[in-house]
Chains A and B, each alone.
Chain A
Amino acid sequence: MQYKSQAVAKPYFIAAIGLFLGQILFGLIMGYQYVVGDFLFPAIPFNVARMVHTNLLIVWILFGFMGSAYYLIPEEAETELFSPKLAWLMFWVFLVAGALTIVGYLTVPYATLASMTGNDILATMGREFLEQPLPTKVGIVIVALVFLFNISMTVLKGRKTSISLVLLLGLWGLAIFFLFSFYNPSNLVLDKYFWWWTVHLWVEGVWELILGAMLAFVLIKITGVDREVIEKWLYIIIAMTLITGIIGTGHHYFWIGTPEYWQWFGSVFSALEPIPFFMMTVFAFNMVNRRRREHPNKVATLWALGTGVMSFLGAGVWGFLHTLAPVNFYTHGTQITAAHGHMAFYGAYVMVNLTMISYAMPMLRGRSANSRASQLMEMWAFWLMTISIVCITLFLTAAGILQIWLQRMGTSPMSFMDAQDQIRIFYWAREFAGLVFLVGLVLYIWSFFFKNSEAQAAG
Chain B
Amino acid sequence: MVVNFNYMNILINNSRCTRQIYATPPGDLAIWFFIFAELLAFGIFFVAYAFARAHNVALFDESQQHLNRTSGAINTLVLITGSYFMVRAVESIKQGYANQCARWIGAAIGFGALFLLIKSFEFYSKFSDGITLSTNTFYMFYLSLTIFHFMHVILGMVILVAVMIKAKQGGYSAENHTGVETGAAYWHMVDLLWIILFPLIYVIH
Interface residues of chain A, those whose CB is within 8 Å of chain B, are 232, 235-236, 239-240, 243-244, 259-261, 264-265, 267-269, 271-272, 275
Contact = CB atoms under 8 A, between A and B. Distances in A.
A232 B34 CA distance: 12
A243 to B, nearest CB: 6
A272 B40 contact: yes
- The SS class assigned to the A binding surface is helix
A235 B41 contact: no
Contacts of B33: 236, 239-240
A210 B93 CA distance: 39
18 contacts: A232-B30, A236-B33, A240-B37, A243-B37, A243-B38, A244-B37, A259-B134, A261-B134, A264-B45, A264-B141, A264-B144, A265-B144, A268-B44, A268-B48, A271-B44, A272-B41, A272-B44, A275-B37
Interface string B32-59: 0110011011001100100010000000
8 closest cross-chain pairs (CB), A and B: A261-B133, A261-B140, A236-B33, A259-B134, A268-B44, A236-B30, A240-B37, A232-B30
A257 to B, nearest CB: 13
B34 A268 contact: no
A377 to B, nearest CB: 39
Given A260-B137, A264-B144, A272-B37, 9 more contacts: A232-B30, A236-B30, A236-B33, A236-B34, A239-B33, A244-B41, A260-B134, A261-B133, A264-B140
A232 B140 CA distance: 36
Contacts of A267: 48
Nearest to B134: A259
Contacts, number: 45
Contacts of B134: 259-261
Interface of B: 29-30, 33-34, 37-38, 40-41, 44-45, 48, 52, 133-134, 137, 140-141, 144
A265 B41 CA distance: 10
A37 B41 CA distance: 45
Nearest to A237: B33
Contact of B30 (A235, A244, A272): A235
A136 B59 CA distance: 52
Given A235-B30, A236-B34, A261-B144, A268 B41 contact: yes
A244 B40 CA distance: 11
Contacts of B45: 264, 268
A260 B37 CA distance: 25
Contacts of A264: 45, 48, 52, 140-141, 144
Contacts of A269: 41
Nearest to A236: B33
Nearest to B40: A272
A451 B44 CA distance: 56
Given A236-B33, A261-B133, A243 B41 contact: yes
A272 B41 CA distance: 7
B181 to A, nearest CB: 16
A265 B133 CA distance: 11
B37 to A, nearest CB: 6
Contacts of B141: 264
A239 B44 contact: no
A265 B140 CA distance: 10
Nearest to A235: B30
Contacts of B34: 236, 239
Contacts of B133: 259, 261
Contacts of A265: 144
A178 B37 CA distance: 29
A239 B38 CA distance: 11
Nearest to A276: B37
A239 B48 CA distance: 23
Contacts of A236: 30, 33-34
A346 to B, nearest CB: 27
Contacts of B140: 260-261, 264
Nearest to A279: B33
Contacts of B40: 272, 275
A240 B30 CA distance: 11
Nearest to B42: A268
A271 to B, nearest CB: 7
Nearest to B136: A260
B28 to A, nearest CB: 8
A325 to B, nearest CB: 11
Nearest to B44: A268
Contacts of A235: 30
B72 to A, nearest CB: 22
A275 B144 CA distance: 22
A24 B137 CA distance: 46
Nearest to A271: B44
Nearest to B140: A261
A272 B37 CA distance: 9
B147 to A, nearest CB: 11
A271 B134 CA distance: 22
B138 to A, nearest CB: 12
A239 B144 CA distance: 20
Contacts of B38: 243
Contacts of A239: 33-34, 37
Contacts of A261: 133-134, 140, 144
Contacts of B29: 232
A329 to B, nearest CB: 16
Contacts of B48: 264, 267-268
Contacts of A232: 29-30
B179 to A, nearest CB: 15
- The winner among B29, B34, B41, B140 for most chain A CB atoms within 10 A is B41
A453 B137 CA distance: 69
A243 B151 CA distance: 12
A244 B38 CA distance: 10
Contacts of B144: 261, 264-265
B86 to A, nearest CB: 22
Contacts of B44: 268, 271-272
A335 B141 CA distance: 33
A285 to B, nearest CB: 17
